[in-house]
Amino acid sequence: MPRSVESPRVVNIADLRLLARRRLPRVVFDYLDGGAEGEFTLRENCNAFEEVTFRPRHAVAVPKCELRTRVLGCDLSFPVVLAPVGYSRLMHPEGEVAAARAAGMAGTAYTLSTISGHRLEDVRSASSGPVFYQLYLMGGRAAAEAAIQRARSAGFSALVVTIDTLVAGMRERDFRNGMKELLGGNPLAKLPFLPQFLARPGWLAGFLLDGGVPRLPNVVIPGQGPLPLIDVGAALSSAAVTWEDLRWIREAWSGPIAIKGVLTTDDARRALDEGASAIVVSNHGGRQLDGVPASLRVLPEIVAAVNGRAEVLMDGGIRRGSDVVKAICLGARAVLIGRAYAFGLAAAGQVGVARSLEILRTDVERTLKLLGCASIDALDGSYVHVHKK
Ligand SMILES: Cc1cc2nc3c(=O)[nH]c(=O)nc-3n(C[C@H](O)[C@H](O)[C@H](O)COP(=O)(O)O)c2cc1C
């Protein structure tokens, strides 16, 4: 592992975030780091973990901890899955391929976003572990059906259908920094934002050598070819999935389906009715509707409503292994991480993602030992205390 991401330079995920900030132009860093509107939900996602404290069982010898689990029919070496992160190729030229490879080497799953710059077949073959495909309906139903067909032929293990994106959230930092202009085709419109690119020559060289703004090779409109990489707002406003769509999606995809973006017990029950194998309690990392609660806060009521009929996963705000353990104590089978690995990707490509996973994995193991708990499966609510706000 290169010294740039080794200890003591990088000890935690916050250190990777700082390296990412140093390497990326402001527009790309803020796209990754930021949230919607006043970023209340973004902050809450992390703050909620501080309201959960541990209740350890001391003087218990735990020489070895069992971290393995199963999610969506796949064996994972520890209960952390890489979430879909759109535009990853802007963060690093190897983008989704690097992240998938690092996930596979760590023995866990990677979820490929529809808004990805590398072909799904290349991403699948880069990883020795399971890969899931996250579906948006950009480009329309025919393009989505074609992607589902390709994902099945390539050997993807599950489909993750995101339901919280009827339109894009109002990400104020993206407007100020010129995200739309960066992705748009008008070179003159990019001019006012040029200084932030020139201030990051390493990133700029990689971006230009990679051919600049990529197309979306997994959104192929029949008769027209791959969709150009359009602005986030435009992309997401044409991406919405409704419950009605789930009927034909289920017919097109015979494997397991996870519904991502559930925040209420009503939506959880609806997802079960639609045949979901898993539910991801998620507010999209605070990037969609600002003012919704932290995922961790609604997790227990959704776990209770689902009552074992599907796997319950969660994401939002995971920055430490102790956060992973808290979410599992409150009923999650596993967690997804977005920024925690994407900071690593932006900082150093594949080795940065690998470092992020190594940090979280050793954190989880140490936390279990300090709790006096020998396995992930044995974690439950008795190991934590939730302080009500
Ligand atoms: C830069 C970025 C891009 C994202 N793109 C997608 C996407 O394309 N599809 C999707 O379902 N979720 C997307 N998400 C949401 C993540 O999958 C995940 O829900 C969120 O990042 C979890 O919060 P965390 O970053 O605090 O871990 C994105 C998140 C970030 C940070």
CA of 287 to the centre of ligand 1 (A): 8
Residue 32 CA, closest ligand 1 atom number = 1
Residue 291 is predicted with a pLDDT of 98
389 residues of the chain, pLDDT tens digit each: 676 899 999 999 999 999 999 999 999 999 999 999 999 999 999 999 999 999 999 999 999 999 999 999 999 999 999 999 999 999 999 999 999 999 999 999 999 999 999 999 999 999 999 999 999 999 899 999 999 999 999 999 999 999 999 999 999 999 999 999 988 888 899 999 999 999 999 999 999 999 998 889 999 988 888 888 776 677 777 788 999 999 999 999 999 999 999 999 999 999 999 999 999 999 999 999 999 999 999 999 999 999 999 999 999 999 999 999 999 999 999 999 999 999 999 999 999 999 999 999 999 999 999 999 999 999 999 999 999 87
Ligand 1 neighbour 162 (Cβ under 6 A): yes
Residue 91 CA, closest ligand 1 atom number = 1
Residue 224 is predicted with a pLDDT of 87
CA distance 162 to 38: 23
CA distance 312 to 321: 18
Name the fold adopted by 3-210+241-386. Answer: TIM Barrel (3.20.20)
Residue 1 is predicted with a pLDDT of 66
CA of 28 to the centre of ligand 1 (A): 14
Task: Give the 3-state secondary structure of the chain.
Answer: CCHHHCCCCCCCHHHHHHHHHHHCCHHHHHHHHCCCCCCHHHHHHHHHHHCEEECCCCCCCCCCCECCEEECCEEECCCEEECCCCCHHHHCCCHHHHHHHHHHHCCCCEEECCCCCCCHHHHHHHCCCCEEEEECCCCCHHHHHHHHHHHHHHCCCEEEEECCCCCCCCCHHHHHHCHHHHHCCCHHHHHHHHHHHHCCHHHHHHHHHCCCCCEEEEEEECCCEEEECCCHHHHHHCCCCCHHHHHHHHHHCCCCEEEEEECCHHHHHHHHHCCCCEEEECCHHHCCCCCCCCHHHHHHHHHHHHCCCCEEEEECCCCCHHHHHHHHHCCCCEEEECHHHHHHHHHHCHHHHHHHHHHHHHHHHHHHHHHCCCEHHHCCHHHEEECCC
Which of 24, 33, 85 should be mutated for ligand 1, with most atoms under 8 A from CB? 85
Residue 238 is predicted with a pLDDT of 77
CA of 285 to the centre of ligand 1 (A): 6
Residue 228 is predicted with a pLDDT of 83
Ligand 1 neighbour 297 (Cβ under 6 A): no
- Strand pairing report for 52-54 and 384-386: antiparallel
**Whether pTM exceeds 0.95:** yes
Residue 187 is predicted with a pLDDT of 87
Residue 55 is predicted with a pLDDT of 98
CA-nearest residue, atom 1 of ligand 1:
32
